[in-house]
Each structure stands twice: as structure tokens, then as C-alpha cells.
Structure 1
Amino acid sequence: MHDLPSSAPRQTMLVVGMVTLITAGAFESLAVATAMATIARALDGMALYSAAFALTIATSVVGMVAAGVVADRARPALPMLLGVVTFAAGLVIAAFTPSMSLLLLGRALQGLGQGAYVVALYMVVARAFAPAQRARVFAWFAAAWVVPSLVGPVVAGLVVDTIGWRWVFGAVALVAAPAAAVVLRTTWHVPGPETLPDAATTRAGVRRIGWGAAAGVGVTVVTLATERDGTAGIVVGAAGLLAALVAAHFLLPPGTLRARRGLPAVVGLRGVIAASYFATEVMLPLILQTERGLSPTRSGTILTVAAVTWALGSQLRGRNLASSLTYLRLGTTLSIVGIAASATIALPGTPLAVGWVAWALAGLGVGMVYPTLSVLVLDVAPPAEHGAATSALQVSDALGMSLAIALTGAAVHVVVNALGIGGYLLGFGLTTLLGLVALWLAGRTTLPDATTPTNATA
């Protein structure tokens, strides 16, 4: 671990810069989700609506893998710089695009850059902060999503209605640029790894980037296949899923898909908890608007409440009051209860307040789990492999989330068409089951030797 050559004020400046950069990325994600229907209509590209989201997720996987490979060979400022520049280029292209095809190029660059700079931020935490400080920094990372969750959709709507949708991208660039400058200036002298990988390890890194690209293609194919009906959609989707799983086998630590104890279980848990939580989240506004008659603004408040409790859970985790294993078990349990109870919004006559309280509980639980896994992956992995381990954590998150959203959404769509509103219960059942798998995985993040870092209080 290389401490930042500075005093507390300079470290505070670094945290402020990193949190601002994450906030800009969070706002971009939420604002674009709000404005994309308007953008697609303006560019005569409604047929490519889903692709605008799928491409961003797919290229983010490539960015994560590539940044992890570079970070294990250079100072974290290098992948940070490459990621921020790529992200900014994507924003500029999207802001000035005359066509939907160029918008897709901009969205692809945004995902590529954001995936890279997020991994770089984790490497800054690993090399510039003492282990005892990391949980608090990761808690601030989670808190960075609160303000965008509260105001992002509303601000995006106002921007679209007043000065135009292009400023959704332009405003993010204006916020991200100074934040990136602060982070780059503060971390420029943070050194890279003490020993450089040998030639064989370098070749393995190049292969990882190739598998990252394969995973991205697989995710894109699965997402787009769910928009098609009939046998063709099923065949194409199955091929994409197979490609993503094969790539995951090579991208994630050995034993991840078999839930081996230690680092593989830590990385696997991140993907499963992301799948459980976010696949549930995308169903909630849909049910509230189409089945319970709520407006988009009112239905969106259920996500806002969960974002606030997520940040609260992260802040509680940052206090280091219990062991990492305790936080994981408590957080996953709260998430399971919240997901199962939030299914009540699909039942006519059930008070909507029950769903709001339930989803707030799920947010609180996942808010404890995420920073705990971020701390554990740095504790368990050797310092020379922090880049690859951090990249694997982010890749697991992206793959788990995107595949679960696509597959659960497709299954629910079919059942709801056949059974009506009660069909949504299938979706909640699947995501609750994923939560139970996450709870089982939580117990496998520790090793038999009680002295190992995974058992220590983070």
C-alpha cells in the first residue's frame, strides 16, 4: 500500500474529487434513462431504444477488464485518464449527434470509459488509503448516488423540456471535467505496483481483454434477443448467454462459478446480489405505472427512498462496528425480506406504503453489502493482483445485473401476458431465490483459517 504523499486536507480533496466524478456518472445514468424516449423519437431511432442501454453495459465490461489489466502494470492515474477521456468523448458525440447510429457510438464510448475509471478509482483507494480507511471511502462512493437519485430524473426532465435533450450529456461533461482534473492531479504521483508482471502474465492480461469483449457481445445479444418474440429470439438469446458465461469463466477468479471459498465467493456474491436487487428494481416502476396507475414522477419515489437507505446502510458499514461476515449476512437478509415484501405492490388492494417500506429495507441491506465486498476484495487479493480482482468484482456486478434484468424481464413479460398482474409474482420469486443464493454465498466468503483477512473486521 502506497500512502498518498499528503496530509489529511489533500486526502479530503481526493475524496471530494472521486465522489464528484461518481456523482456525474450516476447522474448521467439516471438522466439518460429519463430522457432516452425523447432522444430516440427526435433521432427517429425508437427501434434502437434498447440498444442504447445494452451497448453501454456491454462496453463497460470491456472497460473494466482493460483497466484492471493496465492498473496492475501502471500507476492508477493512467487508466483513470484513459477512462475519463473516453467517457468525455462519448458525452460530446452524444450531445452533438445528428443520428441514432452516432448516438450509439457515443453511448458505447461512455460505457467503455466509465467502466475503466470506476476500476481506476478502486485502485486509488487500494494504493492511497490505509486498510482502516477504505470502508469509509467506499461508503462515500455509495452516498454519491443519493443526490442524483433524488434530483436526476426531475432535472433531466426539466432540461429536456427547456433547453433540449442534448444538454443532458453536455451538463454531465461540465461537471465531470473539473472533478476528473482534481482526481488526476491528486493521484498522479501515486506509484504503480512494486513489481511488474512477467511476459506470461502480460499475455494473460491481453487474453482477459479479449474475453471482456466476448462478454460484452454476449450481454448485448441477450438484451436485444429479449425484444424479439418466437424461436429466433430464444435461440439468439441462448447463444448470447452461453458466450457471456464462457467469457465469465475466464474473466472471474478460478472457482467463482463453483462458489469456491474466499475471493471467488466474494466476486460471485457481488454478481448474485446485483442480479437479485436490480432485476427487482426494474419491475417496480413498471408495475406502479401500468398496474397501479401512478405517474412516472410518483412511481419514481420508490427508487429514491431505496437510494437514500442504500447510502444509510453504507454509512453504517463505514463505522466498522462488526465483522465483514456479519455485515454480509445482515445485509443480504434485509435485502431478501425487502424483495419478498415488495411483491405486495403487484397485489391489487395492498397499501402502496408497504411496498415503499419494503424496498427501503432492501436498499438498506444492499447498502451494507456493497462496500463490504469492496473492502474484502482488496483484503483477500494480493496487492500485485488488486487491479484484476477489482476488475473481476465490477465485471461480476455488470454481468449479473444485466443478464438477470434481461432474462427475468423476458420471463415476466410472457407470464404477465398469460396470467395478468399475478404473473409479476414469478419475477419476485426468481429475485428472492437469487437473494437466498447470495445469503449462502456470504458464508463462503471466509476461509477455514480464522486468521485470514476475509474474517477480519474490515
Structure 2
Amino acid sequence: MTAPKTLDAPYRPPRIFGPRYRTASLGILLVVTLIAFEGMSIGAVMPAASADLKALNLYGMSFSAFLIAGLFANVAAGLWSDRRGHAVPFLLGVGLFTAGMALAGAAWSKEVFIASRAVQGLGGGFAIVAIYVMIARVYAPDARPKIFAALSAAWVLPALIGPGVGGFIAETVGWRWVFYGIVPLVIPALVMLLPALRGGEGEAPVPGTGPRSRPVPMTLAALGAAVGAAVLLYGADRLHTHPVSGGITTAAGLAVLAAGLPRLLPPRALRFGRGLPTTVMMRGVLGGAFFGVNAFIPLVLQEEFGFDLTKAGVALTVGALGWSSGSYLQARHDWDRSRLVRFGAAAVTAGILLTLLAFVPGMTGWIMAPAWMVAGLGMGVGMPSVSITTMRQSPDDEQGANSAALQVIDTLGSSLTIGFGGVLVNLIGHDDIATGYTAIVAMTAAVGVLGMVVAGRMRDVS
């Protein structure tokens, strides 16, 4: 006779690769890995693409086009997911991302390349928000730290091999094949993902009734924020050649952005209100600080230290080791998430400042590799903690809106720091990359310090 099960057996959290979640987990991680490989490769090949298309200013604008287009897609995907479910925006996002990759590979001018990056941004924006909504609706709360850790881990292999492989491909067969090579990989990913989408919807979503659940005002606000950010960065990029018109354009873009952005975020977010508002804002603070430097490290290593594309890519790769380590550590216990985010902001700031050691006489450019591992550790600890806290603080009918808000502020923070970093390179570092890079470090380190100061406001006193 089988012994009866004891009622006081220890509770074990569900495994994300157990029978309950296996299909959804594999589907999510496959697509994230695909997007991550492109994201990690692009930084290493951008110097070659910029030289081939004869446009140094392509460097900042190509990253910003991706991120700004994603900003609009974030909001649309959040609304869609809250009202109709996450399957269709997920598939639409993957399709757009693939089309953008093909267009980037075929780009014959800088304008076409920037447009292709915008299409990729639309696709990535749809897909990533749908992933966050899927996690909130499919996974139990005690399983979410593990799936967010797995999401971070899905960046590890692309981060380890993406920059180096991307640089090698660019040097051997050409940078265009970095984009072309990803396109056929979408087919097996989608074949494995379709069952997860059909079986992962769970209960039908209940449309929200708050101000961020209204399609027309939110769409207009998203369009305004995206256009405002684009105009702001375009105007800033012209400051070094057309100071007057560039200044007017920059001010106009800032005004339009300021009009649309507050509607896309939780109330009091721009004032770092306690609880959810600050939690969402910390995503943009961490991303803006980290990626504002990450985008320019390959350029500095090549221009100042004579690295080839492959070596510059390898230097970025080391940061992924820190990121994966931080992600693993944050999933081990149910820590005080606000303290983890503060630690993350401090580590990112320290890593940013440590990269300047490369310019000390007698030092080598390779010092940027361990410095970026420190910054990656901060991102691995901080980013999943922000996501987990956001889901905890979100009512069921606002999961899509708050997932979109996370991506909006992440996109905006990264696009602004990368865009203004490109401005600094053109304005004060066109003939002296080291000076421009030092200015970028000062800008992004200030953002990191802000994160250290306000992270404690993530705690919801209610």
C-alpha cells in the first residue's frame, strides 16, 4: 500500500523547465536569444558599417532609430496584450524584426540602414513587451525570479560569442552577413514557439479601465513621445554644424516628448514617486547608464588602441560574464529588491568609471574588459529585480501597461544616452575620440549616481 502524502511536506517552487512551464520557457528563451545575438553583434560591426556607408554620425542614429521605434511599439504591444492577449503582438514583433534584419543587410545608404534599424526596433518592441505579459500571466510569482534569471542567461551565449563572431564575419565576408545570417534562424524558433503561444494564454485578459488603458490617447501619446525623441536627437545631432537650427529643433523635440511621455508611465514616475513609479524609472536609469557607454566601447578600442573588430567584440563579451553572474545571484533568494537595484546602479557606475583607466599612461585597452564585467554584474543584479518588483506592484489589468512602461523608459533612457553620446563624439570628439568618450563617461556616470540615490524609493510604503 502506498503511504499517504504528508500535509507538512516542504513546498517546492515550480521548475520553469518542468512539465508546467517547459514549452513556454523554451519558446520565450529561443526568441530572446535571437534578439540578443543581434543586439550584441551590432556594436562590434557598427564601425565597419559606418565606414562603408561613409557616415560617422550613423553610429548614434542607428542605435537611436532602433530604440525610438521600439518606444512606440512598446505601448501598442502593451495595449494589445491587455485587451486581446500576447500571442499576436509577439508574432508580429518577430516578423517585423526579421524584415528589418533583411533590410539592414541590403542597405545601400545610411538612410536605408537607419530605416531598417527602425523596423527592427518596432519588432523588438512588440516581442519584448509580449514576453513580459506572458511571464506575468503564465508563471507563478515564486517562479518569476527564475524565468527572469533565465532571460538574462539567454543573453550569455550571444554576449559571449556575438561581438567576436560579428567582428569576425565583418572582417571576412562583410558586415552585411551579420544581419543576413540571423534571418533563417527565425524559422526553427517560430516552429518551436507556436505551441507555447497556443497553450500559454491562460485566462482571457481583462481589459483595464484606467487612463493608460485607452487606446486612442495612449497611441497618440506614444506617437508624440517617439516623434519628440526623434526630433530631439536629430536636432542635437545638428548642433555642431547648425547651432541655431539645431538648438530650435532640439527644444521642439523636447517639448513634444514632455507632452507625450507622462501618459505612458505610472503617475508621478517622472518625479520618482514611491513604489511603482520609481521602480519603472529605474529601468531607464540602469539601461541609460550602461548602454550609453556600451555602444561606444568598440569605437574607442579601434580608434584609440588599434583593436580590430574581433578583439573589440571580445572586450564587450566579458561584460556578459558579469551580467550572467549577477542574474544568477539575484535568483538565489528573495532579497530586498530595492537594495539589489541600488547595488546594481553602484556597480554600473563603478564599471563606467573604471573604463577610463585605459587612458592612464602604461595601461592597455584590455582594462576595459574587467571594468565592463563590473558594470555587467550590476545589470545582472538590477534589471531582473526591477522587472520582478514591477510585476509584484502591478494589478492584473495593468500588467501590459506597466510592462510597456518598463520598455518605454528603458528604450528612452538608452536612446537618449546613446544619441547624445553620438552628439558628443561629433561635437567634441570627432578628431579626438578619447575626449568625446570621457564626456560620455561623465554623462552616464551621473545617471548611475542618480540611480544609487533614488533606488530606495522603489519600496511601496502602502
TM-score, structure 2 normalization: 0.86
Which residue is equivalent to 2:274? 261
Q: Distance in 2 between matches of 1:112 and 1:171?
A: 20
Indicate whether 1:447 and 2:460 are aligned.
yes
Q: Could you tell me the percent identity over the aligned residues?
A: 33
Which residue is equivalent to 1:86? 96
Q: How does 1:222-301 map to 2 (within 5 A)?
A: 222-228=232-238, 229=240, 230-231=242-243, 232-301=245-314
TM-superposed deviation, 1:245: 3.1
Q: Distance in 1 between matches of 2:223 and 2:139?
A: 31
Indicate whether 1:339 and 2:352 are aligned.
yes
* Corresponding letter in the other structure for 1:246: A
TM-superposed deviation, 1:150: 2.2
Indicate whether 1:55 and 2:65 are aligned.
yes
The farther-off stretch of 382-391 and 236-245 is: 236-245
Q: Distance in 2 between matches of 1:46 and 1:431?
A: 21
TM-superposed deviation, 1:304: 0.9
Which residue is equivalent to 1:191? 202
- Give deviations 1:89-112, integer Å, cap 9, x for gaps: 333444556666555544332211
In structure 2, the CA distance between the partners of 1:88 and 1:302, relative to structure 1 (3 Å rule), is closer
**Is the 2:237–2:422 Cα contact (8 Å) retained in structure 1?**
no
Q: Distance in 2 between matches of 1:15 and 1:265?
A: 29
Q: Secondary structure of the equivalent of 2:21?
A: helix
* Corresponding letter in the other structure for 1:439: M
Which residue is equivalent to 1:403? 416
Which residue is equivalent to 1:73? 83
Q: Distance in 1 between matches of 2:38 and 2:247?
A: 32
TM-superposed deviation, 1:60: 0.8
TM-superposed deviation, 1:49: 6.4
Indicate whether 1:391 and 2:404 are aligned.
yes
Q: Distance in 1 between matches of 2:434 and 2:59?
A: 25
Q: Distance in 1 between matches of 2:295 and 2:43?
A: 12
The farther-off stretch of 409-418 and 38-47 is: 38-47
Indicate whether 1:135 and 2:148 are aligned.
no
Indicate whether 1:207 and 2:227 are aligned.
no
Which residue is equivalent to 1:326? 339
- Give deviations 1:265-285, integer Å, cap 9, x for gaps: 011111111111122223433
Q: Distance in 1 between matches of 2:312 and 2:40?
A: 14
Which residue is equivalent to 1:437? 450
* Corresponding letter in the other structure for 1:116: F
**Is the 1:54–1:219 Cα contact (8 Å) retained in structure 2?**
no
The total of aligned residue pairs comes to 444
The farther-off stretch of 89-98 and 412-421 is: 412-421
TM-superposed deviation, 1:33: 4.1
Q: Distance in 2 between matches of 1:364 and 1:249?
A: 31
TM-superposed deviation, 1:81: 1.9
The farther-off stretch of 249-258 and 76-85 is: 76-85
In structure 1, stretches of 5+ residues that fail to align are 450-458
Indicate whether 1:30 and 2:40 are aligned.
yes
Match of 1:361 among 350, 369, 374: 374
Q: Distance in 2 between matches of 1:419 and 1:398?
A: 28
In structure 2, stretches of 5+ residues that fail to align are 1-13
The farther-off stretch of 143-152 and 86-95 is: 86-95
Match of 1:173 among 154, 177, 183: 183
* Corresponding letter in the other structure for 1:142: S
In structure 2, the CA distance between the partners of 1:135 and 1:426, relative to structure 1 (3 Å rule), is same
TM-score, structure 1 normalization: 0.86
Q: Distance in 2 between matches of 1:424 and 1:169?
A: 27
Q: Distance in 2 between matches of 1:276 and 1:313?
A: 17
Which residue is equivalent to 2:5? none
TM-superposed deviation, 1:56: 1.9
TM-superposed deviation, 1:37: 5.6
In structure 2, the CA distance between the partners of 1:333 and 1:391, relative to structure 1 (3 Å rule), is same
Q: Distance in 1 between matches of 2:153 and 2:337?
A: 19
